[in-house]
Every structure is written in C-alpha cells, then in structure tokens.
C-alpha cells in the first residue's frame, strides 16, 4: 500500500520536472529592415565620387553619412526634391544635384536677398557662384525662395520630398518655423516626405525657442512638425555622436567644421567631431 500510494506523487513530481525542463518558446524575430535600394545607392555613390565636390566637403562624409542618410529617407533619382536653406556652401546640393539631374528635379529654396545684411548677401552670392562654376553638375537646379512673404518653394503639390539639413534651428532663430513648415506642406504631394537632420539638444534642458546655441531637442522638433500637419514615420541614429556634450560657450559652432573658438581647444573639438544629430522622416497625409 505504501508503494502504491506513492506512485501518483512520483508521477506528479516527474511531470513537473519535465515541464520545467521544457525548452522556452522561440523568441520572435526582430522586424526586418527594408531592403536597400541598390540602384539608388550606386547613383548616390557616383554623385559622392564626382569631381565637382570640394576636398573640404569630401572630408565631412565621415561625419555626415550622406549615403546612409539619403537611403533612410527613401530618395530616388526620379524624384522631385526641394532642399531648403542649403547655406553658402551647398554641401548636400553637391550630392542632390547630380543625383536628380537626369530623371528627377531639384529645387533649392534660399533666403530672400537682404541688401542690408552682409551675411545673407555673402551667403547667397557664394551659393550662386557655386552653381555657375559647375554648370554640368548644377545647370538644372532651380533656385526658389523661402522667407517671410516668399514661400513658393516649388509648384504646389509637386514635390515628392523636401529635405532640411540643419535648418530647423535657423527657422527658430528667425521666428519663422510655422511659415517654413507651411511652405513645405504646400509644396509636397499627398504622401510626400519631409526629411530632416538637426543638431540634437540636451533633453534634460528646456528648449530655447530661438535655438541660440544651435541645438534643438528632438521631441521639441517632432512636436513642432507634427503640429504643422505631418506624421512621424521613422527615426534613425545614423548621425548620432555620443561624444558631443552640447555645453560649449560658442554653441554648436565650437565644433567642426566651424571651429568658432579658433585654435583654442581645437584638438578637443576635432576629437569630438561634428555634432550629435537626429534624423527624422515625416509624411504629409
């Protein structure tokens, strides 16, 4: 009787041990990244390798990751694209113009002429000289205007994509963010993409609405852009830089390529590299 009575307990213990030893269910597979567009990748690499690019601009590729950034945005050579406020140097214009020259279209929205503003005057002239110096690369670029009262950056509803590289802090500084985003929304087709890269601020610090140090908190930018009628599609850390402490007396311009501190602590800033940047992709519904 003793042995017989113990059998159910033995079976129960054996069953419990077997259950504990059973292998765990397989972990779900992580979501797969979209396949890389090899045709576009080759076209971007060709533009990056072009002889029209200055050596000083080529040196920035390691910091700015243009191939990975543009592929993340989903650009293709057949798109109609607007680049907003490229500045004097037109760093990304050097890549976008030849990429879009044959099957696409590039509009470049510059600031309006300001005869009393020496900085704006020099910047516009420098960019115009750049386009004129390499007509084979830049001859099909169409320059438009984005400024107060001048917001027709491309024909309404025509653009597949609008790109802004380090422009948001400038719009904030000029108190024209709402106007800029409205102009971008007007230019984009339904379903068109707004692609932005910007100096990423310290989220532990409140956002200066004028962005006087050049940095913009990522969530602050997202709130601005979604409030203007855009949907956030994706984020990328391709332009992140954990070395950027974001606490310099001269703001983001202490870092390369500006080196606003001159030779003071230059090795330190050179070792940091360019700023930590967020990279965001939005959609016009």
pTM: 0.88
At 113 the pLDDT is: 93
- What's the token pair of residue 133? 């110096």
pLDDT band with cut points at 50, 70 and 90 for residue 29 = low
- Report if residue 146 sits inside a domain: yes
- What's the token pair of residue 140? 């099909």
Q: Give just the sign of the alpha carbon dihedral 94, 232, 221, 225.
A: positive
Is the model's pLDDT at 123 over the cut of 70?
yes
- Report if residue 13 sits inside a domain: no
CA gap 249, 197 in Å, rounded: 23
Task: State the average pLDDT over residues 259-270.
Answer: 96
Q: What is the CA radius of gyration of the chain?
A: 26
Q: To which H or E segment does residue 102 belong?
A: none
The per-residue DSSP string of 174-229 comes to TT-HHHHHHHHHHHEEEEEEEEEEEEBPPTTSPPPTT-TTS-B-HHHHHHHHHHTT
Is the model's pLDDT at 193 over the cut of 70?
yes
Is the model's pLDDT at 22 over the cut of 70?
no
CATH number for the domain that contains residue 164: 3.40.50.150
Average pLDDT, rounded, for the chain = 91
Query: Please, which contacts does 61-69 make with residues 24 or more away whose CB atoms are closer than 8 Å?
Result: 63/241, 63/256, 63/273, 63/274, 64/91, 64/239, 64/274, 65/238, 65/239, 66/92, 66/95, 67/41, 68/236, 68/238, 69/197, 69/236, 69/238, 69/239, 69/279
Quick count: other Cβ atoms within 10 Å of Cβ 9? 9
- C-alpha neighbours within 13 Å on the C-beta side of residue 124: 16
Residues 6+ apart with CB under 8 A from 59: none
- Report if residue 157 sits inside a domain: yes
- What's the token pair of residue 188? 């984009």
- Report if residue 151 sits inside a domain: yes
Containing structural domain, residue 168? 36-198+208-240+279-283
Q: Lowest mean pLDDT: which of 20-29, 86-95, 245-254?
A: 20-29
CA gap 237, 239 in Å, rounded: 5
**259 with 209: CB under 8 angstroms?**
no
Q: Lowest mean pLDDT: which of 32-46, 69-83, 219-233?
A: 32-46
- Report if residue 158 sits inside a domain: yes
Q: pLDDT, tens digit, for every residue of 241-250?
A: 999 999 999 9
- Report if residue 144 sits inside a domain: yes
- Report if residue 271 sits inside a domain: no
Higher pLDDT, 13 or 169: 169
At 36 the pLDDT is: 86
Q: Specify the number of domains making up the chain.
A: 1
At 12 the pLDDT is: 44
* pLDDT above 90: percentage of residues in the chain: 85
- Report if residue 121 sits inside a domain: yes
């Amino acid at each position: 009787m003793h042995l017989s009575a113990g059998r159910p307990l033995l079976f129960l213990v054996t069953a419990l041990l077997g259950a504990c030893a059973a292998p765990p269910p397989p972990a779900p597979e992580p979501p797969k990244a979209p396949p890389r567009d090899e045709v576009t990748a080759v076209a971007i690499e060709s533009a990056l390798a072009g002889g029209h690019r200055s050596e000083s601009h080529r040196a920035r590729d390691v910091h700015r990751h243009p191939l990975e950034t543009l592929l993340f945005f989903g650009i293709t050579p057949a798109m109609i694209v607007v680049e907003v406020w490229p500045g004097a140097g037109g760093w990304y214009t050097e890549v976008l113009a030849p990429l879009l020259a044959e099957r696409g279209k590039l509009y470049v929205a510059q600031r309006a002429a300001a005869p009393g503003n020496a900085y704006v005057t020099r910047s516009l002239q420098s960019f115009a000289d750049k386009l004129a110096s390499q007509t084979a690369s830049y001859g099909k670029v169409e320059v438009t205007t984005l400024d107060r009262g001048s917001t027709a950056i491309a024909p309404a509803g025509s653009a597949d994509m609008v790109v802004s590289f380090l422009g948001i802090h400038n719009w904030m500084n000029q108190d024209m963010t709402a106007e800029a985003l409205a102009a971008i929304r007007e230019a984009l087709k339904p379903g068109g993409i707004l692609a932005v890269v910007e100096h990423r601020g310290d989220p532990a610090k409140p956002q200066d609405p004028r962005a006087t140090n050049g940095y913009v908190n990522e969530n602050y930018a997202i709130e601005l852009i979604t409030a203007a009628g855009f949907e956030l599609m994706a984020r990328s850390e391709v332009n992140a830089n954990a070395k950027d402490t974001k606490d310099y007396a001269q703001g983001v311009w202490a870092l390369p390529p500006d080196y606003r501190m001159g030779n003071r602590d230059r090795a330190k800033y050179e070792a940091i590299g360019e700023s930590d940047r967020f990279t965001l992709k939005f959609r016009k519904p």
